[in-house]
């Protein structure tokens, strides 16, 4: 069985399939529902379809993709800045060594 994502509203992990009942009888439609806040999917013809719907969150997935992209861009900028700083430090060290060399003459 596929792991269910926590409820996007209340973060509960108690998510259960619910059979649609009409006139006291199940009608072959299923939804996934949070037992804590009662958030649910629409009804689907199979429990697996309802489960997949529960776990599909286009907005959340897009936000995660944007976050990864932002971190990757920041990582590249950070590396560029670090390499630039190393160059500046090397220049400073060389200048200090030159000064020390001149002072000891
Ligand atoms: Zn909930």
pTM for the whole structure: 0.57
Between the CA of 54 and the centroid of ligand 1 the distance, in Å, is 12
Give the total residue count for the chain.
105
Residues around ligand 1, an ion, CB closer than 5 A: 7, 9-10, 12, 34, 36-37, 39
Residue-wise pLDDT tens digits, 27-75? 999 999 999 999 999 999 999 999 999 999 888 888 888 999 999 999 9
Between the CA of 18 and the centroid of ligand 1 the distance, in Å, is 14
Between the CA of 65 and the centroid of ligand 1 the distance, in Å, is 24
Residue 1 confidence (pLDDT): 55
With 0-12 / 13-18 / 19 or more C-beta atoms within 10 angstroms meaning exposed / middle / buried, residue 86 is exposed
Distance CA 105, CA 102 (A): 5
């Amino acid at each position: 069985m596929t792991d269910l994502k926590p409820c996007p509203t209340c973060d509960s992990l108690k998510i259960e399939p619910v059979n649609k009942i009409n006139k006291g009888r199940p009608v072959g439609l299923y939804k996934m529902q949070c037992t804590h806040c009662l958030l649910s999917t629409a009804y689907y013809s199979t429990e697996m379809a309802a489960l997949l719907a529960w776990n599909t969150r286009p907005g959340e997935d897009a936000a995660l993709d944007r976050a990864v992209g932002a971190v990757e861009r920041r990582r590249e900028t950070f590396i560029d800045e670090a390499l630039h700083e190393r160059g500046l430090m090397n220049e400073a060290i060389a200048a200090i060594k030159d000064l020390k060399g001149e002072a000891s003459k």
